Amino acid sequence: MAPRCPGLSRFLRSGETPWATLPAVNARHILIELHGCPADHLNDADAIQHAMSTAAVAAGATVIATNFHRFSPLGVSGVVLIAESHLTIHTWPERGYAAVDVFTCGASVDPWQAYTSLKAALGAASGEAVEMTRGERPVVSRRVSDAAGS
Amino acid sequence: MAPRCPGLSRFLRSGETPWATLPAVNARHILIELHGCPADHLNDADAIQHAMSTAAVAAGATVIATNFHRFSPLGVSGVVLIAESHLTIHTWPERGYAAVDVFTCGASVDPWQAYTSLKAALGAASGEAVEMTRGERPVVSRRVSDAAGS
């Protein structure tokens, strides 16, 4: 099994430093709303699984498991568990809407790369995203709102 | 396969109403920070899987898949996919900290019941939670901060 948050695990294995001086969790969580996606993109579980795994790799993450489901009559839900936490997606093809989460820990990944990758892969006309810092009182730490191609 | 968001799927099957009058997505996402949890609770993947599935049922959700992993040397990540979206957890036993997400759609579930169930199951000394409305520009719609037993 891959280590969780590689930087932290290496640190823990050294056994030389007391807990009190552990590095920060450094967990970042981006809540993403994608609108104006073609309905057929949002109802294709295989294509979405591929897009989500590609997005995870784009962020620099290590994929450890995936699980995707297509609902009847419409919609896909899925998760990509990564060594650095997770990506999830839920789609409403009839609305052209997808709700995506990218949750990462550690300094070696950039969750915003996953946002850019997935927005393009799903052909979203627009994206809204807000970054929340985890590991402490949740706060908004970054917000973007942009149209296709921006 | 279970329908996604049962209320919406029933509506879609009726075939009688144009998309423009579809009911709202009604997606609710609670970001939960649990602190002061016993480390052994947070490193036991089987117990956490049970607690998360129990929390999903407490919310009134239908579980469709679970996937949990224990990291070396410490930490558990896992997901419960539900017909109404998902629950995820990532734990840092060395900190007594767990990051939990409960994302639901549809009016038949109450994600706050999952929060209450899981906070008790993991023995958290304190919990912070913030509810975000999904399906539109993300906004904070409720925030709580409470100590054990409250």
Percentage of the residues of chain B whose pLDDT score is greater than 90: 62
Does A90 lie at the interface with B, CB-CB under 8 angstroms? yes
Residue A65: strand pairing partners: A81
- Cβ B56 vs Cβ B80: under 8 Å: yes
Does A13 lie at the interface with B, CB-CB under 8 angstroms? yes
* Residue B23, CA atoms < 13 Å, CB-side half-sphere: 13
ipTM: 0.83
- Cβ A122 vs Cβ A32: under 8 Å: no
Alpha carbon dihedral B43, B44, B49, B55, in 10-degree steps, equals: -70
Backbone phi, psi, residue A23, to 5°: -65, 160
- Cβ A68 vs Cβ A78: under 8 Å: yes
- Cβ A118 vs Cβ B128: under 8 Å: no
Tell me the per-residue pLDDT of A99-120, one tens digit each, with 9 for 90 and over: 999 999 988 999 999 999 999 9
Nearest neighbour of B137 by CB, restricted to A65, A92, A128 = A128
- As a whole number, mean pLDDT of residues A81-110 equals 95
Architecture of domain B24-134 in CATH?
4-Layer Sandwich (3.60)
Cα distance between residue A51 and residue A53, in whole Å: 6
For B117-134, give the DSSP string: HHHHHTT-SEEEEEEEEE
CA distances from B8 to A44, B19, B23, B106, B138 (A): 19, 11, 7, 7, 21
Q: Where are the domains of chain B?
A: 24-134
Cα distance between residue A142 and residue A97, in whole Å: 22
Q: Among the residues of chain B, which ranges form H helices?
A: 6-14, 39-42, 45-58, 111-121
Q: Which residue in A has a C-alpha nearest to residue B12's C-alpha?
A: A73
- Cβ A88 vs Cβ A100: under 8 Å: yes
pLDDT at A148: 55
Residues 6+ apart with CB under 8 A from A65: A80, A81, B67, B69
Please indicate whether residue A86 is annotated as part of the active site: no
Backbone phi, psi, residue B7, to 5°: -60, -40
pLDDT at B113: 97
With a threshold of 0.90, does the pTM exceed it?
A: no
Residues 6+ apart with CB under 8 A from A129: A30, A31, A32, A33, A112, A115, A143, A144, A145
- Cβ B102 vs Cβ B115: under 8 Å: yes
Query: Which of B71, B84, B104 best probes binding to A when mutated, by most A CB atoms within 10 angstroms?
Result: B71
Q: Which residue in B has a C-alpha nearest to residue A20's C-alpha?
A: B95
Contact (CB<8Å) A77/B134: no
Cα B108 to chain centroid, rounded: 14
Residue A80: strand pairing partners: A66, A87
- As a whole number, mean pLDDT of residues A61-86 equals 95
Chain B residues 18-37 with a CB less than 8 Å from chain A: 19, 22, 25, 27, 29, 31, 33
Please indicate whether residue A141 is annotated as part of the active site: no
Residue B66: strand pairing partners: B80
pLDDT at B62: 96
- Alpha carbon of B137: minimum distance to chain A alpha carbons (Å): 7
Tell me the per-residue pLDDT of B58-112, one tens digit each, with 9 for 90 and over: 999 999 999 999 998 899 999 999 999 999 999 999 989 999 999 999 889 999 9
Q: Which residue in A has a C-alpha nearest to residue B24's C-alpha?
A: A95
Nearest neighbour of B1 by CB, restricted to A70, A83, A86 = A70
Q: How many CB atoms lie within 10 A of CB A18?
A: 6
Please indicate whether residue A90 is annotated as part of the active site: yes
- Alpha carbon of B57: minimum distance to chain A alpha carbons (Å): 18
Does A107 lie at the interface with B, CB-CB under 8 angstroms? no
CA quadruple B85, A137, B69, B54: dihedral sign? negative
Contact (CB<8Å) B138/A145: no
Cα B8 to chain centroid, rounded: 20
Contact (CB<8Å) B1/A73: no
